[in-house]
């Protein structure tokens, strides 16, 4: 019995999406095969990792990550420049967490100013994220989208409870948009349909099926991502073809395994490496399931996952 | 290849005798096709049919153990490419590679690391499953003595003899043949000698060839020589080759019924940077490796890899559960808040994590709802006022706290009235709908 490569034929493909402007603009997606299977399709773009920064001091981040940014994290402009110039980031994701009613309740105007200041200080593409407060995001992201007009940013996240105003703002100011639903392929599909029904091109959407950390539901995110990719490729389901984002850092850096010291739990080993690896493995699993864009926090984890990506393409 | 119910039906007596417990032969055939019953339930099936059905029902990926005894690890037997289609059955083996050039002291330390690698997580005992002993000294008597040393220090841990030299392999295998080691290192160059060792000692053989064309030709040849328990190495070392070749192996075996690749796959991931090594190992763990050989096993690295393996090999149909009890988060005292939730492991992890983030010591009552999340358990009638009241009363928490205030999940706010009636003397407080609001909630309650 001679061996022949068992190739799959796919009728669909993942949509390509460009964000940012000028020479540093990035493209993700566009593949017509399952993740990294070059023997049966084309994979024109590598996955991209964006460094997460935020508009207020990252006091809720564990020390392991906080100390990487001590010199710059009091100022999102300095922080973004540090990512671009020192860490050689491809992209930055600015989370406007300070607008959350429980986290300082900054106004939409303040948020818009932060967005403007950061944009004028960097050349790499910017992802603008709200605080994940449904009502507040509906106004904050509208102001942010306007402030970023012309920069071809990714804004998000539009959710079932607030997508209408956010979609309208992304449409008016020509941004790309993250649509987030909670760990359910049918909800992801439904939200993408609702958004495109407002006249928003599916070519400008990114699906966020909700990330989960290693050990805390990773398998759910993993399987939802795999199923979205299979639907996009095998069933040519157009609503499932936008690129996928994995918002890794915020889920990883609050679980016990990235917080508890080695002295407290000796059998878990050194905290520093454990945290870094927790983020790197969560991100790597997302890549193998189909994520095109990752949002991460620890420079060492990003460096490792970039090496994994180099080995995968 | 698996047969359909109708194909199986054609091979049955078609007497509808009902001796199997089903009303018709067709009904029995359908159950057989689904793998829900064994052919032996039919007393009248012909020998010829038994043979045909036996072959057809043989697993598409060969299944056998690495090692013997309590710590033996089952490999192969997988039936799907994607875990959501059914589940992945036999968790990949993590093995530590040790070179025989180390001093006896260093070797002992490495073996101790393996023996001390056990960690409990969600009720499962996880560990580094095997030792891969690499023949690097080029001295067969040294190799033999190291094999004996390791076997003596860790008699139960399965061993992979990573050795391409047949004469050294022969001595090493003989020294521990009763442990049923896996002899890794059969290639085109040494196949005959390695097969002889494997046959003589009745042990499985690890087969290496560069690429799947050469590998499948070699496994056919070796099978023809009489060794059927094989572990295959496609030569993949880079992440891309691991994803591509492991996928091709699994697909060829399952979708094409291609027997020459229907064996467990082994990936060697040996790098200087332990974080990178673990990340590449993660690629192999999610993409079909049966054995992953590592160069180091730091505790933090083990914890991450064990957790990933546990996640990926979880049955998507059966929720992971945690034990029903009152969990202490932080160091709660008689005035600390008491919260209740269900025993779906994810619910427990997220709720307990957020309570810990609040830095407010608390009691978390976790109630057995067969692993359902809060809303589902409520809808299924498993998380009801009556059952919660009974659990709280029987839990003994009334002796541990002075107050009588129970915080229930916001999702089941509807229960609060009924619960206050059933749980006499208690005040019910409705907590937030989402766990991530718990830190703010708890701080405001205790302020």
The alpha-carbon gap from A311 to the nearest alpha carbon of chain B, in Å, equals 5
| Structure confidence at residue B261 (pLDDT) | 97
Which residue among A254, A273, A307 sits closest to B300, beta carbon to beta carbon?
Answer: A273
pLDDT at B333 over 60: yes
- A183 within domain boundaries: yes
Cis preceding-peptide flag for B313 (omega within 30 of 0): no
Give whole-number Cα distances, A296 to A209, A227, A281, B282, B445, in Å.
Answer: 16, 23, 12, 18, 33
Q: Quick check: B287 and A39 CB within 8 A?
A: no
Q: Quick check: B282 and A281 CB within 8 A?
A: yes
B379 touches chain A (CB under 8 A): no
- Residue A102 — very low, low, confident or very high, per pLDDT cuts 50/70/90? confident
Which residue among A223, A268, A304 sits closest to B300, beta carbon to beta carbon?
Answer: A268
- A175 within domain boundaries: yes
Q: Quick check: B239 and A308 CB within 8 A?
A: yes
- Residues of chain A with Cβ-Cβ distance to B276 below 8 Å are 304, 307-308
The domain that holds A75 is classified in CATH as 3.20.20.20
Residue of A nearest to B441 (CA): A102
Distance CA(B18)–CA(A154), nearest Å, equals 65
Residue B349 burial by Cβ neighbours in a 10 Å radius (0-12, 13-18, 19+)? buried
- Locus of tokens 């996640």: B311
- Locus of tokens 């739990």: A265
Which residue among A1, A254, A259 sits closest to B258, beta carbon to beta carbon?
Answer: A1
Q: How many CB atoms lie within 10 A of CB B189?
A: 12
Residue of B nearest to A271 (CA): B300
Q: Quick check: A1 and B260 CB within 8 A?
A: yes
A-proximal residues of B, 72-131, CB under 8 Å: 82-84, 119, 121
Average pLDDT estimate for B69-83: 95
Of B229, B90, B67, B64, nearest to B157 by C-alpha is B67
Average pLDDT estimate for A99-116: 96
- A56 within domain boundaries: yes
Using DSSP's 3-state secondary structure scheme, residue B75 falls into strand
| Structure confidence at residue B277 (pLDDT) | 98
| Structure confidence at residue B2 (pLDDT) | 64
- Residues of chain B with Cβ-Cβ distance to A258 below 8 Å are none
- Residue B35 — very low, low, confident or very high, per pLDDT cuts 50/70/90? low
Q: Give the tens place of pLDDT for each residue, B302-312.
A: 999 999 999 99
The alpha-carbon gap from A305 to the nearest alpha carbon of chain B, in Å, equals 8
Q: Which domains does chain B have, with CATH numbers?
A: 5-56 (1.10.15.40), 64-312 (3.20.20.20), 325-446 (3.40.50.11600)
Using DSSP's 3-state secondary structure scheme, residue B64 falls into strand
Which residue among A36, A259, A277 sits closest to B301, beta carbon to beta carbon?
Answer: A277
Q: Tell me the two tokens of residue B152.
A: 């003596």
Domain count of the fold of chain A = 1
Residue B129 contacts residue B93 (beta carbons within 8 Å):
yes
Q: Quick check: A281 and B305 CB within 8 A?
A: yes
- A6 within domain boundaries: no
B42 CB-near residues (< 8 Å, 6+ apart)? B12, B13, B19, B20, B28
Which residue among A5, A268, A285 sits closest to B303, beta carbon to beta carbon?
Answer: A268
Of B372, B355, B191, B162, nearest to B268 by C-alpha is B162
Residue of A nearest to B305 (CA): A281
Interface test with A, best of B119, B232, B282 (most A CBs within 10 A): B282
Sheet containing strand B205-208, strands side by side: B230-233, B205-208, B182-186, B159-162, B130-134, B93-99, B291-294, B266-269
Q: Quick check: B216 and A278 CB within 8 A?
A: no
The alpha-carbon gap from A104 to the nearest alpha carbon of chain B, in Å, equals 13
- A88 within domain boundaries: yes
Of A36, A34, A40, nearest to A233 by C-alpha is A34
The alpha-carbon gap from B300 to the nearest alpha carbon of chain A, in Å, equals 5
The alpha-carbon gap from B331 to the nearest alpha carbon of chain A, in Å, equals 14
Which residue among B220, B301, B307 sits closest to A1, beta carbon to beta carbon?
Answer: B220
Q: Quick check: A284 and B279 CB within 8 A?
A: yes
- A85 within domain boundaries: yes
- What's the mean per-residue pLDDT of chain B? 93
Buried b (16+ CB within 10 A) or exposed e, A49-73: bbbbbbbbebeebbebbbebbeebb
| Structure confidence at residue B121 (pLDDT) | 82
| CA A150, chain centre distance (Å) | 21
Which residue among A220, A254, A269 sits closest to B300, beta carbon to beta carbon?
Answer: A269
Distance CA(B113)–CA(B230), nearest Å, equals 28
DSSP B333-393: -TTS-EEEEE-BHHHHHHHHHHHHHTT--EEEEEE-STT--HHHHHHTTSS-HHHHHHHHH
pLDDT at B65 over 80: yes
- A1 within domain boundaries: no
Which residue among A36, A274, A304 sits closest to B243, beta carbon to beta carbon?
Answer: A36
Q: Give the tens place of pLDDT for each residue, A189-219.
A: 999 999 999 999 999 999 999 999 999 899 9
Residue B318 burial by Cβ neighbours in a 10 Å radius (0-12, 13-18, 19+)? exposed
A-proximal residues of B, 212-241, CB under 8 Å: 212-213, 216-217, 220, 238-240
Torsion angle, alpha carbons of B293, B297, B302, B308, to 10: -30
| Structure confidence at residue B447 (pLDDT) | 63
Q: Quick check: B239 and A312 CB within 8 A?
A: yes
- Residue B51 — very low, low, confident or very high, per pLDDT cuts 50/70/90? confident
Average pLDDT estimate for B57-69: 90
Paired with A28 in beta bridges are: A17
Q: Tell me the two tokens of residue A174.
A: 């020509």
- A12 within domain boundaries: no
Q: Quick check: B119 and A230 CB within 8 A?
A: no
Residue A313 contacts residue A36 (beta carbons within 8 Å):
yes
Residue of B nearest to A270 (CA): B300
The alpha-carbon gap from A205 to the nearest alpha carbon of chain B, in Å, equals 25
Q: Give the tens place of pLDDT for each residue, A114-161.
A: 999 999 999 999 999 999 999 999 999 999 999 999 999 999 999 999
Domain of A268, in residue numbers: 17-31+38-312
Average pLDDT estimate for B348-358: 88
Distance CA(B57)–CA(B33), nearest Å, equals 9
Q: Quick check: A36 and B298 CB within 8 A?
A: no
- Residues of chain A with Cβ-Cβ distance to B411 below 8 Å are none
Residue B379 contacts residue B412 (beta carbons within 8 Å):
no
Of A7, A13, A90, A47, nearest to A312 by C-alpha is A47
B346 touches chain A (CB under 8 A): yes
Q: Quick check: B240 and A311 CB within 8 A?
A: yes
Distance CA(B318)–CA(B375), nearest Å, equals 17
Q: Tell me the two tokens of residue A286.
A: 């997302």
A-proximal residues of B, 138-157, CB under 8 Å: none
pLDDT at B375 over 70: yes
pLDDT at A55 over 70: yes
B314 touches chain A (CB under 8 A): yes
B272 touches chain A (CB under 8 A): no
B385 CB-near residues (< 8 Å, 6+ apart)? B415, B418, B419, B421, B422, B423
Distance CA(B45)–CA(B14), nearest Å, equals 10
- Greater model confidence, B13 or A147: A147
pLDDT at B446 over 80: no
Q: Tell me the two tokens of residue A288.
A: 């193998």
pLDDT at B224 over 90: yes
Q: Quick check: B83 and A312 CB within 8 A?
A: no
The alpha-carbon gap from B280 to the nearest alpha carbon of chain A, in Å, equals 7
Q: Quick check: B256 and A6 CB within 8 A?
A: yes
């Amino acid at each position: 019995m001679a061996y022949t490569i068992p190739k799959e034929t796919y009728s669909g493909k993942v949509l390509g999406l460009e964000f940012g402007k000028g020479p540093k603009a990035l493209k993700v997606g566009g593949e017509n095969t399952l993740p990294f299977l070059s023997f049966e399709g084309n994979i024109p773009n590598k996955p991209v990792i964006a460094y997460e920064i935020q508009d207020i001091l990252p006091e809720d981040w564990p020390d392991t990550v906080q100390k990487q940014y001590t010199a710059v994290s009091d100022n999102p402009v300095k922080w973004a420049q540090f990512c671009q110039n020192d860490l050689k980031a491809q992209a930055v994701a600015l989370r406007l967490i300070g607008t959350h009613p429980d986290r300082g309740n900054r106004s939409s105007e303040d948020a818009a100013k932060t967005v403007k200041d950061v944009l004028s200080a960097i050349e790499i593409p910017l992802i603008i994220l709200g605080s994940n407060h449904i009502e507040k995001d509906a106004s904050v992201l509208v102001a942010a989208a306007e402030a970023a007009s012309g920069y071809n940013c990714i804004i998000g996240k539009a959710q079932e409870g607030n997508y209408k105003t956010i979609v309208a703002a992304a449409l008016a100011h020509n941004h790309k948009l993250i649509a987030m639903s909670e760990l359910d392929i049918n909800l992801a599909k439904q939200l993408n349909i609702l958004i495109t029904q407002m006249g928003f091109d599916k070519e400008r959407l990114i699906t966020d099926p909700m990330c989960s950390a290693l050990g805390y539901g990773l398998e759910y995110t993993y399987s939802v991502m795999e199923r979205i990719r299979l639907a996009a490729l095998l069933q040519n389901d157009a609503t499932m073809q936008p690129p996928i984002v994995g918002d890794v850092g915020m889920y990883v850096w609050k679980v016990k395994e990235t917080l508890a010291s080695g002295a407290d739990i000796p059998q878990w080993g050194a905290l520093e490496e454990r945290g870094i690896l927790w983020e790197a493995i969560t991100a790597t699993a997302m890549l193998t399931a189909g994520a095109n864009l990752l949002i991460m926090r620890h420079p060492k984890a990003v460096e490792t996952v970039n090496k994994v990506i180099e080995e995968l393409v | 290849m698996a047969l359909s119910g109708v194909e199986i039906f054609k091979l049955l007596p078609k007497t509808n005798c009902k001796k199997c417990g089903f009303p018709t032969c067709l009904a029995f055939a359908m159950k057989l096709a689904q793998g829900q019953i064994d052919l032996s339930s039919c007393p009248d099936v012909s020998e010829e049919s038994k043979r045909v059905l036996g072959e057809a029902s043989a697993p598409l990926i060969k299944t056998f153990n690495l090692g013997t005894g309590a710590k033996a690890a089952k490999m192969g037997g997988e039936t799907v490419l994607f875990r959501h289609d059914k589940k992945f059955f036999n968790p990949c083996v993590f093995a530590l590679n040790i070179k025989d050039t180390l001093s006896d002291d260093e070797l002992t330390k490495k073996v101790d690391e393996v023996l001390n690698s056990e960690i409990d997580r969600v009720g499962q005992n996880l560990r580094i499953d095997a030792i891969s002993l690499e023949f690097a000294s080029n001295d067969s008597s040294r190799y033999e003595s190291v094999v004996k040393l390791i076997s003596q220090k860790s008699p139960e841990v399965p061993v992979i003899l990573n050795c391409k030299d047949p004469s050294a392999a022969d001595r090493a295998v003989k020294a521990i043949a009763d442990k049923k080691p896996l002899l890794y290192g059969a290639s085109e160059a040494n196949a005959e000698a390695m097969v002889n060792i494997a046959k003589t000692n009745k042990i499985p053989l690890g087969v290496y060839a560069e690429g799947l064309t050469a590998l499948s030709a070699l496994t056919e040849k070796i099978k023809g020589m009489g060794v059927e328990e094989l572990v295959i190495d496609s030569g993949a070392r880079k992440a891309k080759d691991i994803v591509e070749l492991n996928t091709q192996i699994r697909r060829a075996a399952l979708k094409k019924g291609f027997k020459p690749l229907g064996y467990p796959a082994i990936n060697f991931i040996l790098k200087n940077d332990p974080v990178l090594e673990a990340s590449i190992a993660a690629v192999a763990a999610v993409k079909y490796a049966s054995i992953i050989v590592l160069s180091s096993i730091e505790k933090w690295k083990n914890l991450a890899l064990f957790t990933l393996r546990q996640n990926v090999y979880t049955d998507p149909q059966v929720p992971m559960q945690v034990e029903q009890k009152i969990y202490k988060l932080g160091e709660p005292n008689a005035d600390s808040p008491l919260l209740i939730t269900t025993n779906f492991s994810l619910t427990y992890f997220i709720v307990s994590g957020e309570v810990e983030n609040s830095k407010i010591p608390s009691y978390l009552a976790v109630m057995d709802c067969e692993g359902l999340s809060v809303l589902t358990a409520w809808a299924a009638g498993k998380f009801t006022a009556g059952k919660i009241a009974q659990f709280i009363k029987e839990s003994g928490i009334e002796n541990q706290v002075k107050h009588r205030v129970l915080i229930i999940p916001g999702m089941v706010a509807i229960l609060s009235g009924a619960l206050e009636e059933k749980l006499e003397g208690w005040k019910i407080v409705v907590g937030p709908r989402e766990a991530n609001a718990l830190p703010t909630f708890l701080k405001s309650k205790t302020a």
